[in-house]
């Protein structure tokens, strides 16, 4: 994961714009949001799933960079006062605190646009049909039926009661959809069979929910110095989460069950999927 993070950061540094003109502020904000650390977990999933199909690493790395740009855009917008109103991200001031709200909005917009631009370029894959499928799948993952819709539900969760089914749907959209694309993108790049793509989607479905449950646990049990962001915000806002509904013990057990289920979906790939299997267990044991 560290190797992937280093490679993605190096590529992002080359792909992100710089300027000495009047637009320098938004360019600087884009670079601040995308180059300020992070686990680069989603890019790791892209690279590891692509390796199952012997995709050239340079192609997979470009998709990994696009996914990270999309993730960073979502964090910039999530942190805004109109959304989660966070002042700390990855141990640093959030983008709107470092710059201002308008600049943060524009920086997020530009990060999203750059992600699609990278996917559409011939360097990402020589076949236009594959590039179009990458663009379509990512757009679907981050739109109203995915990440954006999930964020809308998350905002509503502070004011309306939500049961475990509603929370599962919310997190499947807000967090799980981009994780699913990260896993499936390797199969798209490798022009894999439908059964292989389906297996990765099923793996990602369980992985994404396990990831979110662990996030909820860290919000309750973690500290801001370790997580790099504010904690206990969900409880203060009265927002329903997996932990608030299931309790800490049952939530931790459910995360472990989901991680094991995720690994089972990888049987189709045999030993080649060892890193993805280990990633599932990392998700439920991480401390940040």
pLDDT at residue 276, rounded to an integer: 97
Query: Looking at per-residue confidence, does 241 or 43 come out higher?
Result: 43
Residues 180/204, Cβ–Cβ less than 8 Å: yes
Q: Across all residues in the chain, what is the average pLDDT? A: 93
Residues 266/273, Cβ–Cβ less than 8 Å: yes
CA dist 85 and 267 (Å) reads: 42
| Contacts of the segment 143-149: beta carbons below 8 A, 24+ positions apart | 145/173, 145/177, 146/173, 146/177, 146/178, 147/74, 147/173, 147/174, 147/175, 147/177, 147/178, 149/173, 149/174
Per-residue pLDDT tens for 53-80?
999 999 999 999 999 999 999 999 999 9
pLDDT at residue 223, rounded to an integer: 61
pLDDT level of residue 236 (50, 70, 90 thresholds): low
Domain spanning 2-283, CATH class: mainly alpha
CA dist 264 and 248 (Å) reads: 25
Per-residue pLDDT tens for 174-188?
999 999 999 999 999
Per-residue pLDDT tens for 78-104?
999 999 899 999 889 999 999 999 999
pLDDT at residue 230, rounded to an integer: 58
Residues 97/87, Cβ–Cβ less than 8 Å: yes
Lowest-pLDDT range, 17-26, 225-234, 260-269?
Answer: 225-234
Q: What is the pTM of this model?
A: 0.93
Is residue 24's pLDDT more than 90? yes
pLDDT at residue 37, rounded to an integer: 83
Mean pLDDT of 196-224: 90
């Amino acid at each position: 994961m560290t190797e992937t993070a280093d490679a993605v950061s190096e590529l992002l540094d080359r792909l992100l714009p710089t300027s000495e003109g009047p637009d320098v502020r938004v360019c600087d904000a884009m670079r601040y949001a995308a180059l300020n650390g992070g686990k680069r977990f989603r890019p790791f999933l892209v690279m590891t799933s692509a390796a199952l199909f012997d995709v050239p690493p340079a192609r997979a790395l470009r998709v990994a960079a696009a996914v990270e740009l999309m993730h960073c855009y979502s964090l910039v917008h999530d942190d805004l006062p109109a959304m989660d109103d966070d002042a700390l991200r990855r141990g640093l001031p959030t983008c709107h605190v470092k710059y201002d709200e308008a600049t943060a909005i524009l920086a997020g917009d530009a990060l999203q646009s750059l992600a699609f631009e990278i996917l559409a370029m011939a360097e990402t894959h020589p076949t236009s049909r594959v590039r179009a499928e990458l663009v379509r799948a990512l757009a679907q993952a981050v739109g109203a039926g995915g990440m954006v819709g999930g964020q809308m539900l998350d905002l509503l969760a502070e004011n309306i009661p939500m049961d475990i089914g509603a929370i599962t749907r919310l997190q499947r959209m807000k967090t799980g959809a981009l994780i699913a694309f990260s896993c499936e993108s390797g199969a798209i790049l490798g022009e894999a069979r439908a059964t292989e793509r389906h297996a990765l989607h099923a793996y990602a479905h369980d992985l994404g929910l396990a990831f979110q449950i662990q996030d909820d646990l860290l919000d309750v049990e973690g500290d801001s110095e370790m997580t790099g962001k504010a904690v206990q915000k969900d409880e203060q806002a009265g927002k329903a989460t997996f932990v608030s509904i299931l309790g800490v013990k049952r939530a931790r057990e459910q995360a472990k069950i989901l991680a094991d289920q995720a690994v089972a979906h990888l049987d189709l790939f045999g030993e080649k999927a060892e890193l993805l299997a280990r990633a599932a267990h990392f998700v439920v044991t991480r401390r940040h």
